[in-house]
A and B are shown apart, each in its own frame.
Chain A
Amino acid sequence: MRWQHHPGRLASIGVPMVWLLLLFLLPFLIVLKISFSEGILAMPPFAPMFEWSREWVLTIRMHLANYRFLFTDALYADAFLYSVRVAAVSTALCLAIGFPMALGIARAAPARRSILLMLVILPFWTSFLLRVYAWIGLLKDDGLINNLLLWLHLIRDPIHMVNTTFSVYVGIVYSYLPFMILPLYANLEKHDPTLLEAAADLGASPWKAFIGITWPQAMPGVIAGAMLVFIPAVGEYVIPTLLGSANQLMIGRVLSDEFFANRDWPVASAVAIVMLLLLLAPILIFQRYNQRELERGA
């Protein structure tokens, strides 16, 4: 009713709605449907779910086998757990590195802030794939870092770094750090410096003032940054494929292998659905937290 008088508002809400409906919800439903189908050797490689028999009876066949398979083969559980672990550790590392950086930028002189922020965003100017490839050159056994350490006589034999979990951490932390820094900066920049003076005045050492004043107030930024790193990191495909080991797969790799190598679309779809459900939990926590923050601000 109200929208009839505000065609602009209708358009501004309607366009993203249609976009999400067509390009997110619809594909999701298709994937959901495939995940309950039976895999067959055909084109497309799955059995239809809905079938009209000659007597005009609709038969719906839902296979739970794909999901059951995920729980019977340890490969999937391992890949899920490994992905969550890698994403969680990477998020923690991003926070540990990103927080001081964001704080440093937020407390720098205003003129210098924009330069520092530019430097944070600068890597985006080069292709993501290229930057991950470059890390192979840095980390491999006869790569730049090993050669430098050998030349300095700090090590006798090259350290094996590439194709390990370590190199996956390096790749993810390196790639996702800006997504941690930017929301943190946006939050920290708004902090009132007199609050820290007040804390000091009331007897809090700089460290205690940080724990008691800066950290709790930075929480929305911490959560936003953590979500922006954790969620894509769980499903990360490129970095573990290029830098990770072949023995330990992340779920993104498993997903793509199922689709393209095994051509088992139903199992691949089931993997995708379970991954989505897994990521739903942190997203919901984030939503609820945001809601509370909004209510508090109102």
Chain B
Amino acid sequence: MNVSGVTTQGSSTAYVQIENVSKRFGDFAAVNNVSLNIERGEIFCLLGASGCGKTTLLRMLAGFETPSSGRLLLDGQDLAAVPPYRRPVNMMFQSYALFPHMSVERNVAFGLEQERVAGSEIRRRVGEILEIVRMTDLLKRKPHQLSGGQRQRVALARALVKRPKLLLLDEPLGALDRKLREHTQFELLNIQKQLGVTFVVVTHDQEEAMTLASRIGVMNLGEIVQVGTPRQIYEFPQTRYVADFIGSVNLFEGSLIEDEPDYVRVGCADLPAPVLIDHGISAPPQAKLWIAVRPEKIAVHREPPSTADNWAQGVVREIAYLGDLSLFLIRLESGREVRVTLANNSRKPEEHFTREMPVFLTWDAASPVVGTG
């Protein structure tokens, strides 16, 4: 299905352009000078803790809030003067906001009725979209007669039936239970691929963002702190906030020992050996640095390692068996606790660790991330 017949701008400009947009409520800047480009057909996730401004940004795209400054462009059109009911943008609300007095069918048809589409055309398009979300057999039901997952699908159909240029999703999976979420995530991806609509998703759930998004914009205190693919965000966080916010991580503070173009060596008070990192960094020699090592990138041994760098020594404090993984809390000699996860590749691990066992930790030079921010 084609998204719309509207002329496309040159490929040099992005589909959605957010230019220096701010939104202030009194003295408080909910969104602070955000600039962002979103490409056509993309699933872009705005990820952040509650109160970071992601929902305000979404509501500005929908037209429910007006920016205090800055510009919003969709497909080259400035949205400033366009009221929400004239925007080629639809939103799937966190609460779904289905009309309680209308059947599934009427809910979905509502948007088309506003456009004065012919009755036969409305029926055809409603049928078509309900088929895509697999809700054709519950046409006459009222929202209160549906399960959470069914409501979510109706809300999605209602927003998609208008063939918006941009679909905004506010915590689309937030109200679903865990089993259903996983299933729905992939369904959502399928539908997006099928229809080619550009999605902007707001979520505080990084797992949701990771599976859905082609790109993620991490927000904090009203600002975008990093934009990248899920892998970039996870593996190469640019700031300490992003490193800490996404996934679990072991953060250390240190300072430069050796600074070469293709590697750096950092000394940390909490670690007995220097940390060798296989990428350079542009920082003044005395700068305070942070180092992040993901728990799954650390190996645990009983024997002392032979390398001079990238190791630590400690005692196993806790072991949590999670089925696919085991989580170890290891207390270093400095008193710091480090999280390590090991995949349970076999049923009977040959290397069996127990509590209070002294162990050695090692990691690759490619694993740690170092930064100044």
Contacts and interface: CB of A to CB of B under 8 A. Distances in A.
Contacts of A199: 85, 99, 110
A197 B93 contact: yes
Interface residues of A, number: 20
A187 to B, nearest CB: 12
A192 B100 CA distance: 10
B99 A195 contact: yes
Q: Which of A195, A198, A209, A213 has the most CB of B within 10 A?
A: A198
A197 B83 CA distance: 11
Contacts of A213: 99
Interface in B129-146: 142
B114 interface: yes
B91 interface: yes
Q: Which of B62, B97, B111, B159 has the most CB of A within 10 A?
A: B97
B196 interface: no
A194 B95 contact: yes
A201 B91 contact: yes
Contacts of B83: 200
B64 interface: yes
B23 interface: no
Interface string B140-167: 0010000000000000001100100000
B86 interface: yes
B101 A201 contact: no
A132 B89 CA distance: 55
Q: Which of A192, A199, A202, A213 has the most CB of B within 10 A?
A: A202
A241 interface: no
B32 interface: no
A213 B84 CA distance: 16
B177 interface: no
Given A197-B64, A197-B84, A203 B111 contact: yes
Q: How large is the interface on B (under 10, 10 to 19, 20 to 34, 35 or more residues)?
A: 20 to 34
B97 A194 contact: yes
B115 interface: yes
B310 interface: no
Nearest to B86: A203
Given A208-B114, A212-B110, A200 B97 contact: no
Interface string B102-142: 00000000110011000000000000000000000000001
Contacts of A194: 93, 95, 97
Contacts of B98: 198
Nearest to A202: B111
Contact of A202 (B64, B90, B95): B90
A147 interface: no
A201 B84 contact: yes
Contacts of B159: 201-202
Interface in A156-212: 192, 194-195, 197-206, 208-209, 212
A248 interface: no
Contacts of B64: 197, 200
A194 B114 CA distance: 18
Contact of B99 (A198, A200, A203, A208): A198
Contacts of B111: 202-203
A14 interface: no
A216 interface: yes
A199 B91 CA distance: 10
A205 to B, nearest CB: 5
Interface string A263-281: 0000000000000000000
A245 interface: no
A210 B4 CA distance: 29
Interface string B56-87: 00000011100000000000000000011111
Given A192-B97, A213-B99, A201 B62 contact: yes
A256 interface: no
A195 B89 CA distance: 16
A202 B83 CA distance: 12
Contacts of B114: 202-204, 208
A206 B83 CA distance: 10
A294 to B, nearest CB: 13
Given A194-B97, A197-B84, A202-B162, 16 more contacts: A192-B95, A197-B64, A197-B91, A197-B93, A199-B85, A200-B85, A201-B63, A201-B87, A201-B90, A202-B114, A203-B85, A203-B115, A205-B85, A209-B85, A217-B100, A296-B142
7 contacts: A197-B91, A198-B98, A198-B99, A200-B85, A202-B110, A204-B110, A204-B114
The 5 A-B pairs of least Cβ separation, nearest first, read A202-B111, A203-B114, A198-B97, A200-B84, A194-B97
